[in-house]
Amino acid sequence: MKVSILGSGSWGTALASLLADNHHETILWSRREDIAHEINTRHTNERYLPDVSLPSSLSCTTNLTEALKNSPHIVLSVPSSSIRCLCHLIKHCGVDLSHSYIVHTSKGIEKETHKTISSMVEEELGRSYRNGVSVLSGPSHAEEVARKMPTSVTIASPSALTAYWIEKAFSNEYFRCYIQNDVTGVELGGALKNIMALAAGISDGLGYGDNTKTALITRGLHEMIRLGMVMGAKKETFCGLSGIGDLVVTCTSQHSRNWKTGYMFSKGASLSSISDKIGMVAEGVKMTECAFALSQKLGVDMPITTSVYRVLFENAQPEEMVSELMSRAPKDEQLM
């Protein structure tokens, strides 16, 4: 079948490589002519996946209409801040999407509206596609997927049939998909864990050890669950791949852009200089602003998120925030 991947960053390119390996007619859309030319002629994307060879059957285009035409599977793989812009471009292509399934891989929430990615897509594209918007998320570094290292992810969809077709398209001997229907929970797990990865990076940069980071991960999960349940997610979703799984890998791996951002920030680098050096978006920075605002609006206790927000945006000292977290009033560990 034909599968269209919209977004030629590290994750979009890795998924396109995976789908081409699965013998699908895979077309990758890029905004950049140089990246499209490199993928089509050299079968590499050195900017985003250095030292990775891509399948020769994978093609890349800068023509969005060409990428979308007659495609039963459309994967949106751009940063959360680019989702509305991409949907606007799709609408103006004039392509019939009525037989297409749409799945996104973005991890974030819109800062201004606090809408999830699926809500934004539905708002922009209406019901021009089949069976609602699905999401693919989980502990999955693009670099490792591109190198065919065993990986498991979650596919959440409002339609069991859609989830089945997506699972069939993506699964192979090194990429395993699990299915569920809690779209909100999977989206929030993927978005909120980036805040905890920033905290883990800051902790490592300050020289704290495994005890500290483990506490951040564990208590961070509680914060994710508290906010998620208020927003309609299922508690058990956060105990799966898109929750604790993604949280652990993002907080403990130096592949993680969010961990790198926290680490470099603790060493005195500015957010703008970190973004320039990494060359990719650290979704956790904007997500910290969004989650802090949501916690205030909804009355949800999120002390780690609040501390990260104060460090990033109010010039609070990380050591002071650690002291505040450690001196909070005692409470029952299981109390949500």
Q: Could you report the average pLDDT of every consecutive run of 10 residues in the chain (336 residues)?
A: 95 98 97 98 97 97 96 95 96 92 95 94 91 96 96 96 93 97 97 96 94 94 97 97 97 91 92 82 90 96 96 92 84 71
Q: Are 62 and 159 part of one and the same domain?
A: yes
**Half-sphere exposure (CA, 13 Å, Cβ side) for 284?**
30
What distance lies between CA 101 and its chain's CA centroid? 19
pTM of the model: 0.93
Domain stops at, among 120, 153, 181:
181
In a domain, 207, yes or no: yes
> Could you tell me where the DSSP H helices lie in the chain?
10-21, 33-42, 64-68, 83-91, 117-125, 142-146, 160-170, 183-205, 210-230, 246-252, 257-266, 271-278, 283-298, 303-313, 318-326
What distance lies between CA 63 and its chain's CA centroid? 25
Q: Are 249 and 163 part of one and the same domain?
A: no
Q: Are 29 and 60 part of one and the same domain?
A: yes
Q: Are 153 and 18 part of one and the same domain?
A: yes
Q: Are 249 and 260 part of one and the same domain?
A: yes
Give yes or no for a contact between 141 and 117, defined as CB atoms under 8 angstroms apart: no
Cα(129)–Cα(94) distance, rounded to whole angstroms? 13
Q: Are 59 and 188 part of one and the same domain?
A: no
Q: What's residue 321's pLDDT?
A: 85
In a domain, 109, yes or no: yes
In a domain, 17, yes or no: yes
Q: Are 312 and 174 part of one and the same domain?
A: no
CA dihedral 48, 51, 52, 58 (to 10 degrees): 70
For residue 26, the surrounding DSSP H or E stretch is: strand 25-29
Q: What's residue 134's pLDDT?
A: 97
Closest CA to 179 of 139, 211, 137: 137
Closest CA to 291 of 111, 105, 137, 80: 111
In a domain, 336, yes or no: no
Domain containing 107 equals 2-181
Q: What's residue 336's pLDDT?
A: 60
Q: What's residue 280's pLDDT?
A: 65
Q: Are 23 and 150 part of one and the same domain?
A: yes
- Spatial CB neighbours of 171, under 8 Å, sequence gap ≥ 6: 177
CA dihedral 3, 9, 11, 15 (to 10 degrees): 30
Give yes or no for a contact between 105 and 77, defined as CB atoms under 8 angstroms apart: yes
Amino acid found at 267: K
Q: Specify the number of domains making up the chain.
A: 2
Q: Are 117 and 222 part of one and the same domain?
A: no
Domain stops at, among 126, 155, 181:
181
Q: Are 43 and 191 part of one and the same domain?
A: no
Q: Are 188 and 176 part of one and the same domain?
A: no
Residues annotated catalytic, as ranges: 193
CATH code where residue 25 lies: 3.40.50.720
Q: What's residue 225's pLDDT?
A: 97
Give yes or no for a contact between 191 and 214, defined as CB atoms under 8 angstroms apart: no
Give yes or no for a contact between 13 and 49, defined as CB atoms under 8 angstroms apart: yes
In a domain, 304, yes or no: yes
CATH code where residue 202 lies: 1.10.1040.10
Q: Are 170 and 94 part of one and the same domain?
A: yes
